[in-house]
Structure formats: C-alpha cells, structure tokens
Amino acid sequence: MSKSAFVAIVGRPSAGKSTLLNTLCGEKISIVTPLPQTTRNKVRGILTESRGQLVFVDTPGFHDSQRKFNLHMRDLVSGALEETDMVLYVIDATRSPGQEEQALAQLLTQEDHPVITVLNKSDAPPAPGWEDFFATFRDSNAPGLSISAATGQGIEALKDLLFESAPEGDPMYPEEYYTDQDPSFRISEIIREQAMLRNRDEIPHSLYVEVADLEEDPDTNLLWIRAFIVVERESQKGIVVGKGGTQIKAIRQTAQKEIARLFPQKIHLDLRVKASPKWRNKDALLRRLIR
Ligand SMILES: Nc1nc2c(ncn2[C@@H]2O[C@H](COP(=O)(O)OP(=O)(O)OP(=O)(O)O)[C@@H](O)[C@H]2O)c(=O)[nH]1
C-alpha cells in the first residue's frame, strides 16, 4: 500500500522553507530570496515516488506580531495546519532560538499530527542555544534531523522519515504534477522574486505583482504577458524603474528568461510599474494576494 500525505512546512521567516520545498521536489516552485517573509501564499509542491506521494504546503514564515499583514499570514499558517496530515518544522540552526521560535514550538506541541523537526543550514556554523531549546522541546515532537536544504545534505534521510511517518493512501495528484499553482500566479511570483532581489535595500516588502493579461497566439507560438509591479508610493516607482529604465529592464529580462523555462511557448513580457497607495492595509486586496 502506498503512502499519501499533505505536509505543512512551517518555520520562522528565512528558516529555509522555500529552499527545502524546492530541494525536496526537485523543481523551482517557491521563490527564494535572502529577505525574510518572501513567501506570502500557500504553495504546493508535489513529490511522487514509487513509495507514495507527498504534497507540501509552503506556509509564510511565522511572525508573532499584531500588524494586519502579519495577522493574515498567521491565520494562513494555522489554516495550513488544519488541512494537513503532517508538519515539517524547519529551524534555522544558524540563528539562536528567540521568543518567536518558542511561540512556534509551543504552537506545534499542541499539534495532533506528526511533527518532523529539522535543523536546517547544517552547512554553516550553528548558533548557540539550540541544545537548551531542545532539552525542553524535542521530547514532545519527532526526532531532530540535521539537513542542508541548500546542499542537499540529509535530504534523502528526511524523505525516508517523511514517507515512514505518512499515512497510507492513494496519490492525490497525477504522477507528472509537481505543483498545482495556476500559471499567472507562478509568473507573478517569478517577477516578484526578481523585483525584490533588485530592490533589496529600498522597498523590499512594499511591492506586489499583478498579471493583468495573458494572451496565447498559437500561430506564432507566443505567450504575451502584461504585468505590473505595484508599489505603495509614487516616489517608489522611480526606484523600481531605475536610472534610464535600466533596473526595470533587468528585472524584465531575467524574469522573462525564468518564465520561458516553465512554458513551451516563446515569451514576451510587457512589464510596468504603478503605485497603489497603502495596499498593505486593504483587506480585500490582501485576501486576494494571500490565498
Ligand atoms: N547556508 C544555507 N543557507 C540556506 C539554506 N537553506 C536556505 N538558505 C538561505 O536562507 C535564506 C532564506 O531561504 P528561504 O528558503 O527563502 O526561507 P523561507 O523560510 O522560505 O523564508 P520566508 O519566505 O521568509 O518564510 C536564503 O538566502 C537561502 O538561500 C541552507 O541549507 N544553508
């Protein structure tokens, strides 16, 4: 009988959840940047092997704060836990445990589902404090495993553990699927990754990407995409566009290349910047962005 499970990946911002999802599934599913809280949506990656199927839900980094934006993200984490069979708890071993980690660990001790805890970034020197942390925490959860999502170290052992702990069941998705995201979402995530990487110091979290139009021309085998990078303030538009448009051009070119790797068609990306004041406090928009 084969195994089948929904697995929620949880952890503090920048713990390496998206990198781990990509390493486990062998495809670039979730965007990865060095900035915390890059992941805003539940993203599914699917790993199918002869021993079964694991469907991963990549949750936003857990953040213990009252801001509206963070509250939405926290609801999303709790929601993701309800829908899953197992939890993969990712810890960044290079950062000492703090209050946030305690809060998350506490939340997970109340979990009915199996929790598999991994110490990530084992390729880098560990921070102090983890031994004490585990003395109070590890007993109530699954054994810890040292891994590196970046180098792949410990990933096979982790897969073994995940499949062993998964309940029996039939696959939920066809074998060839590795994600169930819709195309415009994947396109917007690729553009957002590039925009964030290139605006690191100035406006990291105050931008989102809207795919306004997707048109396919079967005669020329061209996929035409119009997308907007939306910033909070008029004054931020110039930063994203860059001197003489060099920055937006670079974002467009790199994103277009990345998108072309996912689709069989030739890609034309028309990319523009616009301002939508205070988008982060608008409830309706947040609900649409954080699905
Ligand atoms: N050295 C090292 N760096 C890693 C490893 N895994 C992830 N990183 C880096 O850690 C940073 C954050 O990685 P992400 O995968 O985006 O982290 P995340 O937990 O999904 O972050 P959020 O989206 O903010 O919740 C990136 O710069 C990664 O390259 C690892 O195993 N070793």
Q: What pLDDT score does 254 carry? A: 96
Give the lowest-confidence range in 8-12, 103-107, 161-165, 244-248: 103-107
201 shares its domain with 260: yes
Say if residue 78 is in the same domain as residue 201. no
Q: Is the pLDDT of residue 145 over 80?
A: yes
Q: How far is the CA of 18 from the centre of ligand 1 (A)?
A: 7
Residues 147 and 33 in one domain: yes
189, 271: one domain:
yes
- 277 occurs within a structural domain: yes
Distance from C-alpha of 52 to C-alpha of 116, rounded to nearest angstrom = 18
Residues 135 and 192 in one domain: no
At 21-73, the pLDDT tens digits run: 889 987 666 656 555 555 555 656 888 889 998 988 766 555 555 555 556 55
Strands (E), the chain: 3-11, 43-49, 52-58, 86-92, 115-120, 144-146, 207-217, 222-231, 266-275
Find the range with the poorest average confidence among 163-167, 192-196, 200-204: 200-204
| Ligand 1, residues at Cβ distance < 6 Å | 11, 13-19, 32-34, 36-39, 60-61, 120-121, 123-124, 148-150
- In the reported structure, the alpha carbon of residue 98 is separated from the centroid of ligand 1 by a whole-number distance in angstroms of 18
**Domain boundary at 118, 137, 165, which?**
165
Q: What does the pLDDT look like over 250-282, one tens digit per residue?
A: 999 999 998 888 777 889 999 999 988 765 555
Which whole number is the average pLDDT over 113-125?
Answer: 92
| ipTM for the whole predicted complex goes beyond 0.95 | yes
- Mark whether 43 and 108 lie in a shared domain: yes
Residues 13, 107 within the same domain: yes
| Same domain membership, residue 113 and residue 35 | yes
Domain total for the chain?
2
Tell me: do 138 and 232 sit in the same domain.
no
Cα of 105 from ligand 1 centre, angstroms: 19
Which residue range(s) make up the domain with 72?
3-165
Beta bridge partners of 116: 88
**What is the per-residue pLDDT for 57?**
79
Q: Is residue 48 part of a domain?
A: yes
* Distance in Å, CA 209 to ligand 1 centroid: 22
Q: Whose CA is nearest to atom 9 of ligand 1?
A: 16
Most confidently modeled range among 32-46, 108-122, 150-164, 211-225: 150-164
Inside any domain, residue 171: no
Based on the domain organization, do 48 and 158 belong to the same domain?
yes
Task: Could you list the residues known to form a binding site for GTP, using ranges.
Answer: 11-18, 58-62, 120-123
Residue nearest to atom 12 of ligand 1 (CA): 14
Residue of 23, 32, 43 to mutate, ligand 1, most atoms within 8 A of C-beta = 32
Angle between helices 234-241 and 246-260 (to 10 degrees): 70
Classify residue 193 as exposed, middle or buried by CB count within 10 Å of its CB (0-12, 13-18, 19+): buried
Question: Are 108 and 238 found together in one domain?
Answer: no
Span from the CA of 122 to the centroid of ligand 1 (angstroms): 12
CB atoms within 10 A of CB 99: 8
Which of 5-9, 191-195, 200-204, 260-264 comes out lowest in average pLDDT? 200-204
Q: Among 115, 131, 165, which residue terminates a domain?
A: 165
- pLDDT band at residue 291 under the 50/70/90 scheme: very low
